[in-house]
């Protein structure tokens, strides 16, 4: 929404406009004649020293005393003549006197020949004639270029953000900070790096533009925190800071304010305090929005830290009547903390909800700028123009472009999930049984992939993955019988979901469906094979056993054939039956054991406690039935008992089955464990249970303990 059709084209247009503005600032700085001498204030700020005499041959450390023009006009030099910022004065009268004095000094420099009186450290006094000349690019100090980079770099970042979301009030106000900031930096770059003097009228105009940029920046900052990350007021009330501080600026521009404190310094401090107040309100309103609060934390830290450091370092010191400990030109670098911090936070915290591709635009601009800058520096260093461009491209290829690739990987591709990590995690779904276990595993998989603060099971119906709530949530449709999901607050609330996340989620669902459908096909094949095997056993082996039973009717071996038939039917039932309630299984076993005891003329005591509501899978039911049948068989066959007692009970975790008889009371340690006991032990082991043999006062006991969790649901 609200994105220009061609943001890259507009961004290049802004970049070209920035280059033109930079060239204009440099041209204006070079129009001022220079003496070729670098001045500095003495340690006690009571005189002017010569830091570098240049071609004039003035020794370093000499005191500059006076300057005389062709017509004999002489002006004694004062320490205030070389101050960086005219805001150092406390009253407008002092400032106007300073501008008038600058006009007189500039007139002497432009007179054609200048005589500079100076005094060496040994007390020797001399006078040097200097022919002023226009300044060269190499004469512009590093602080001049630093201020241009800070101002126009901030403009490019602000413009980049605005062009991608021009209808958001937050990006509009952020762009306003970028538009006003260069007024402060480029004007200060000209007058703060002058050698000695500028025309008073030009100086005053530049100073007024500097105040305009500073005040406008403060207005934009207050308005920015009034509308980002949420609108605190209606849009029309964003004009209130503009009206209040705009009128205040007019008093400063016309020098009708009480003094410079009330004209320009106090308004800047008030703008910062209002911004902090709005940031606090935003913080309170976002207390239940972790993503909003994370973005606000980073945004506030970047913005207010940079602005606060500048105001404390420059206007704050001036208000106290002190000289700032850091050059104002370099103090503008504090604002780079704001713009660089916001640029870095756009990816991690999705400030202004920028998409990933937006970074390509800024990196293209940075690449082109690096080539042009290197080309210009190589020409200034003396390299021929025909060689400089090729060398600039070569150096950029060695340094910038590898750095650009590294930066792209860091800020954009930080959440790439590798295929070798993704496939094993999805394939784990195959080995998780249907139902809640698979749903839980799917939740865990989604948490690994997206690290959301919240995973909700959704009743919403949608055919595909999609972004919802402006990136706060990601919807995943029903997948292979698993419920739809809604993930909220990606990356633990540090960013919004993007269209790339939606595409990745669609791929994830598709892969899960493919894996699970393959598993379901395999299980269908297994089930069909089981059914075929059950039919073969029933039709072939069952028919022959039935024939054998009829043939052996009346003989002792007939009972063995009947037992074999029962085992066969149990095996067939386990292959093709549905899960059965535990109560029904116990009733079947009771009836079977009772029939066998009656046939053997043995009394049966069956005691059964309260059982949990479980459904046994056919395989588990068959295993337990076989174990119980074998235990009863051992008692009837080897102990010759008069009675058999079976007790079945349950606690919270285990079901226990005790089979006791009053027959042969030999010690269990003397028993030779045969196939029957080994079969019971093996079946119980497969279910996570155990078998215990023991002897009581008048009975032998075989106990089977089985964990409830292995019996079913």
Task: Provide the CATH number for the domain around residue 51.
Answer: 2.30.42.10
In a domain, 382, yes or no: no
Both 558 and 624 in one domain: the answer is no
CB contact at 8 A, 34 and 134 = yes
- Per-residue b/e over 309-341, b at no fewer than 16 CB within 10 Å? bbbebbbbbbbeeeebeebbbebbbbbbbbbbb
Domain boundary among 544, 576, 608: 576
φ and ψ at 112, to 5 degrees? 115, -40
Both 455 and 338 in one domain: the answer is no
In a domain, 406, yes or no: no
- How confident is the model at residue 599, as a pLDDT? 83
Both 419 and 494 in one domain: the answer is yes
User: By C-alpha distance, which of 217, 204, 318 is closest to 261?
Assistant: 318
- How confident is the model at residue 219, as a pLDDT? 95
Helix (H) or strand (E) holding 645: strand 643-650
Most confident of 297-306, 340-349, 516-525: 297-306
CB contact at 8 A, 370 and 404 = no
**What's the pLDDT tens digit per position in 568-594?**
666 666 665 677 888 888 998 898 888
304: Cβ–Cβ under 8 A, 6 or more apart, which residues?
A: 272, 275, 276, 279
SS3 569: helix
Q: How far is CA 358 from the centre of its chain?
A: 16
Most confident of 226-230, 248-252, 470-474, 595-599: 248-252
In a domain, 514, yes or no: yes
In a domain, 372, yes or no: no
Number of structural domains the chain divides into:
4
CB contact at 8 A, 485 and 475 = yes
Tell me, letter by letter, the H, E, C secondary structure of 186-198.
HHHHHHHCCCCCC
CA distance 583 to 104: 112
Q: Angle at which helices 419-427 and 499-536 pack, to 10 degrees?
A: 40
List the Cα angle 242/247/249 in 5-degree steps.
95
pLDDT band of residue 555 (cuts 50, 70, 90) is: confident
Mean pLDDT is lowest, of 162-166, 198-202, 297-301, 699-703, for 297-301
In a domain, 676, yes or no: yes
Mean pLDDT of the chain: 80
Write out the E strands in 410-557. Answer: 454-458, 466-468, 473-476, 484-488
Domain boundary among 116, 135, 154: 135
Both 553 and 616 in one domain: the answer is no
pTM of the model: 0.56
CATH of the domain at 623: 3.30.565.10
Both 622 and 514 in one domain: the answer is no
Domain boundary among 576, 608, 633: 576
CA distance 713 to 711: 7
Both 559 and 443 in one domain: the answer is yes
In a domain, 265, yes or no: yes
User: By C-alpha distance, which of 220, 218, 194, 195 is closest to 207?
Assistant: 194
- 201-204 long-range contacts, Cβ below 8 Å, gap at least 24? 201/99, 201/103, 203/86, 203/99, 203/102, 204/99
Q: Around 60, how many Cα atoms within 13 Å sit in the side-chain half-sphere? A: 4
- How confident is the model at residue 205, as a pLDDT? 96
Both 114 and 148 in one domain: the answer is no
- How confident is the model at residue 450, as a pLDDT? 81
- How confident is the model at residue 419, as a pLDDT? 55
In a domain, 689, yes or no: yes
Both 675 and 594 in one domain: the answer is yes
Strands across the sheet containing 690-695: 603-608, 643-650, 654-661, 700-707, 690-695
Can you read off the two tokens belonging to residue 22?
């930079």
Stretch 40-63: mean pLDDT, rounded?
85
Both 426 and 486 in one domain: the answer is yes
CA distance 546 to 552: 10
662: left (phi over 0), alpha (psi -120 to 50) or beta: alpha
In a domain, 373, yes or no: no
**What's the pLDDT tens digit per position in 300-317?**
777 767 766 766 665 545
The secondary structure of 384-449 as a DSSP string is -HHHHHHHHHHHHHHTHHHHHHHHHHHHTSTTPPPHHHHHHHHHGGGGSPTTHHHHHHHHHHHHHH
Count CB neighbours of 129 within 10 A.
Answer: 10
Which structural domain range is residue 25 located in?
7-30+141-355
Both 569 and 594 in one domain: the answer is no
Both 608 and 686 in one domain: the answer is yes
CATH of the domain at 309: 1.20.1070
Can you read off the two tokens belonging to residue 53?
């005499």
- How confident is the model at residue 344, as a pLDDT? 61
- How confident is the model at residue 1, as a pLDDT? 40
CA distance 207 to 217: 15
Both 159 and 278 in one domain: the answer is yes
């Amino acid at each position: 929404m609200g994105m220009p059709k061609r943001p890259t084209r507009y961004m290049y247009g802004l970049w070209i406009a920035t280059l033109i503005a930079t060239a204009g600032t440099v041209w204006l700085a070079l129009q001022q004649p220079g003496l070729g001498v670098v001045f500095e204030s003495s340690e006690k700020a009571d005189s002017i020293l010569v830091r570098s005499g240049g071609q004039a041959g003035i020794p370093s450390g000499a005191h500059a005393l006076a300057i005389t023009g062709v017509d004999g006009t002489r002006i004694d030099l004062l320490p205030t003549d070389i101050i960086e910022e005219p805001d150092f004065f406390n009253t407008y009268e002092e400032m106007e006197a300073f501008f008038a004095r600058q006009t007189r000094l500039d007139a002497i420099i432009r007179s054609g020949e200048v005589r500079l009186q100076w005094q060496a450290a040994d007390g020797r006094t001399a006078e040097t004639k200097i022919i002023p000349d226009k300044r060269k690019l190499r004469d512009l100090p590093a602080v001049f270029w630093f201020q241009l980079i800070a101002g126009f770099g901030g403009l490019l970042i602000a413009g980049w953000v605005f062009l991608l979301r021009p209808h958001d009030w937050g990006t509009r106000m952020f762009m306003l900070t970028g538009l006003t900031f260069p007024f402060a930096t480029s004007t200060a770059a000209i007058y703060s790096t002058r050698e000695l003097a500028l025309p008073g009228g030009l100086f005053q105009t530049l100073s007024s533009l500097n105040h305009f940029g500073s005040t406008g920046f403060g207005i934009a900052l207050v308005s920015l925190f009034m509308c980002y990350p949420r609108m605190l007021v209606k849009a029309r009330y964003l004009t209130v800071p503009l009206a209040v501080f705009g009128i205040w600026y007019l008093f400063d521009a016309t020098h009708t304010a009480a003094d410079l404190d009330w004209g320009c310094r106090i308004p800047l401090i008030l703008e910062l305090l209002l911004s902090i107040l709005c940031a606090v309100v935003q913080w309170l309103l976002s207390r239940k929005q972790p993503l909003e609060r994370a973005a606000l934390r980073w945004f506030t830290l970047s913005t207010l830290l940079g602005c606060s450091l500048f105001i404390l370092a420059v206007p704050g010191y001036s208000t106290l009547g002190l000289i700032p400990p850091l050059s104002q030109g370099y103090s503008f670098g504090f604002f780079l903390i704001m713009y660089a911090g916001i640029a870095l936070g756009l990816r991690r915290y999705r400030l202004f909800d920028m998409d990933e591709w937006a970074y390509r635009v800024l990196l293209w601009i940075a690449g082109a700028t690096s080539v042009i800058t290197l080309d210009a520096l190589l020409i200034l260093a003396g390299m021929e123009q025909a060689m400089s461009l090729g060398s600039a491209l070569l150096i950029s290829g060695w340094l910038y472009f590898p750095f650009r690739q590294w930066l792209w990987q860091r800020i954009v591709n930080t959440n790439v999930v590798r295929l070798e990590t993704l496939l094993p995690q999805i394939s784990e779904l195959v080995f998780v049984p249907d139902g809640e276990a698979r749903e839980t595993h799917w939740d865990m998989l989604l948490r690994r992939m997206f690290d959301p603060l919240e995973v909700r099971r959704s009743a919403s119906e949608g055919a595909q993955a999609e972004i919802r709530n402006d990136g706060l949530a990601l919807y995943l449709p029903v997948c292979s019988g698993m419920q739809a999901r809604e993930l909220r607050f990606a990356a633990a609330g540090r960013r919004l979901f993007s269209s790339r996340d939606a595409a990745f989620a669609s791929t994830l669902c598709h892969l899960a469906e493919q894996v699970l459908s393959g598993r379901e096909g395999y299980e269908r094949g297994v089930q069909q094979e089981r059914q075929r095997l059950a039919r073969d056993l029933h039709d072939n082996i069952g028919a022959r056993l039935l024939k054998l039973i009829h043939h052996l009717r009346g003989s002792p071996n007939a009972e063995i054939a009947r037992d074999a038939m029962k085992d066969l039917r149990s095996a067939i039932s386990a292959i093709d039956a549905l899960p059965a309630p535990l109560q029904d299984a116990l009733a079947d076993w009771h009836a079977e054991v009772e029939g066998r005891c009656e046939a053997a003329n043995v009394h049966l005591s069956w005691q059964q406690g309260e059982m949990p509501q479980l459904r046994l899978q056919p395989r588990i039911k068959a295993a337990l039935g076989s174990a119980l049948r074998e235990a009863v068989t051992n008692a009837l066959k080897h102990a010759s008992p008069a009675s058999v007692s079976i007790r079945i009970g349950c606690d919270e975790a285990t079901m226990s089955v005790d089979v006791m008889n009053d027959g042969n009371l030999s010690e269990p340690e003397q028993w030779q464990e045969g196939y029957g006991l080994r079969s019971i032990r093996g079946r119980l082991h497969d279910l996570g249970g155990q078998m215990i043999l023991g002897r009581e006062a008048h009975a032998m006991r075989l106990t089977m303990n089985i964990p409830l969790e292995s019996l079913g649901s």
